[in-house]
Structure 1
């Protein structure tokens, strides 16, 4: 039996955490797992990263959509994590079981509960904490999608090494199964989503200025899927863009982004966001309908809530379904934009 190589040519060391202190200012390493389970109606954004210029210190950052109209959980904390325990923070840990194949994701702590009404009314006030326990087994389902390779391939634009948030970045679609407990209520999770891993200077005025972005991914039951992203300057010029389509046989195809589903308004549900990708198998021309949303302020380090001061630079997470050739999958999409002063159009500059 042939075992599929999911690394897309990346060396196995890329899955590990850097073990020696970087000398480059503002250097950081970040890992993210996102997932959505339509049966429990729970969405997750689980982030671990080293703090720029504080390499020994790691940050937990968690955002969770609770079912229905139950609101959002949010938490972040900081911990000087021993090297042998990385990637981990005070409450959350990611453990690589098999590179590019399997991971374990755990969280054991408390998280602030924010109602949907408070999220919509402004930056969320301090509120009660809920006990939260997460234990997930993650199985990677597609080859790695590398942003640098994609930008230089068919349909790609811009340059990964010119970014101000990292110089290396890859993503991978996955399935996640396990249990989640919120206070005394337990949920069985059977979800899909994507993960990423990035390295390089974050902040400090390095790289292209941030104007906005879109990242999206979807894995279907048959094994097919897609990923795409676009980043642009405040004037709308694209600094990085690429996409890939995975067919039902697991073959990876470079793709071109034909439409950018931008963040124009803050809407809790019911947005129809275009997904239009061209690849060697044809055209994906569909849309996702947002079911769940988390609003955060990039101006306030992703504090939950609405923040329209100044440019109104918001970072919004959405979960919801899309249909491709009669099959329904669950999309995770994140978007940012200056809602009060957005560029009129996104353009390649070529």
Structure 2
């Protein structure tokens, strides 16, 4: 069971690929601003992973990635990104100071080296506060032979703060989701997965679907109805893809007991990322999309869709979901 103390870092396990990571998504529909920041400590490997992805008004994306030196798990503070636990499970502060590349067309990240060297580099400052609007939801999607996120919870939040990127400054007044996991992680462990989420002050959800090479799958998630968090018994996802094979439209149905919720998502902007295995033998594609969700009969909300696929014979393995 998740307890308040879990909002802090944990004792490092013996696994070579022990990973503790925190992810923070936000969106402000009034300004069209959104994005996510992620920081991972991998102290047994001596590195961290820091990602900043800011969806800017007008369609550009501010993107930065770094692998800073990390040798302890004493704090989440690396690569210019700092996480502060103000009150466990209630309020978290994050701040970033560094540089990001401004990508007029975020799809150029299919060739990250070319994209990042040919795009303007600007200074960025991010100061955000995440205040819980719902209880945390704990769920793992581990299976035999996989090592991805054995300890894992998520929480819907109201998000306020300020973002400065280059000569532009934005106030943030919106919502988002934060994610915290720890334990051994390999990006090549899942065959493919779909991770979807969105929220307003009155409604929010997370849906996850993990597929395996033998055709089996695991799914889960939750729905927040403004009062309670409902654990999902079943999740169905149907994806329509664009000419690049990226998620363009997503239909998702979530079931908890006798209750059912249907949403349709439209990708507003997509950033293709990739991970390579340590020996370079395997490649993993991760497409991060800012999504406008339409809840059946209830209006709009905003969030993200993260699609991870291993690449085999040049193709993502999970194109049927």
- Coordinate RMSD, CA, aligned: 3.1
Aligned counterpart for 1:212 among listed residues 192, 195, 200 = 192
Alignment correspondent of 1:291: 268
What SS is found at the alignment partner of 2:57? coil
Q: Which runs of 5 or more structure 1 residues have no equivalent in the other structure?
A: 1-8, 149-157, 302-309
What is the CA–CA distance in structure 1 between the aligned matches of 2:247 and 2:18, rounded to whole Å?
39
Distance 2:8 2:111 in 1: 39
- Deviation of residue 141 (structure 1)? 1.2
* Cα 1:202/1:159, change in 2 over 3 Å: closer
Counterpart CA distance in 2 for 1:244 and 1:198 is 17
State how far apart, in whole Å, the 2-side matches of 1:133 and 1:74 are: 12
Tell me if structure 2 keeps the 8 A contact 1:211–1:232: yes
What residue is the counterpart of 1:30 in the other structure? Answer: 21
| Residue 139 of structure 2 corresponds to residue 147 of structure 1 | yes
Trace 1:10-159 onto structure 2 (pairs within 5 A): 10-18=2-10, 20-51=11-42, 53-54=44-45, 57-80=47-70, 86-116=75-105, 119=108, 122-123=111-112, 124-127=115-118, 128-148=120-140, 159=142
- Does the 8 Å CA contact 1:87/1:93 hold for their aligned counterparts? yes
Residue equivalent to 1:305: none
Q: Relative to total residues, which structure has the larger strand share, 1 or 2? A: 2
TM-score if structure 2 supplies the norm length? 0.85
Change (3 A) 1:193 1:163: farther
In the alignment, the residues of structure 2 paired with residue 120 and residue 22 of structure 1 have an alpha-carbon distance, to the nearest angstrom, of 33
For residue 237 of structure 2, what is the aligned residue in structure 1?
260
Q: Which secondary structure does the structure 1 equivalent of 2:60 belong to? A: coil
Q: Which residue of 1 aligns with 2:186?
A: 203
Which deviates the most, 125-134 or 291-300?
Answer: 291-300
CA-to-partner distance for each residue in 1:72-118, whole Å, 9 max, x for gaps? Answer: 3223240447766x111030101111111100010011112233166
Contact persistence 2:41–2:70 (CA under 8 A): no
Deviation at 1:293, TM superposition (A): 1.6
CA–CA distance in structure 2, aligned partners of residues 296 and 54 of structure 1? 22
How much does 1:282 deviate? Answer: 2.3
Q: In the TM superposition, what is the alpha-carbon distance from 1:120 to its structure 2 partner?
A: 6.4
Secondary structure of 2:6 counterpart = helix
* Structure 2 gap segments, 5+ residues each: none
Deviates most, 250-259 or 75-84: 75-84
Change (3 A) 1:265 1:162: farther
SS at the partner of 2:315?
coil
In 2, Cα distance between equivalents of 1:169 and 1:160: 14
Q: Is the 8 A contact 2:134 2:224 kept in 1?
A: yes
- Number of residue equivalences: 313
Match status 1:242 vs 2:220? yes
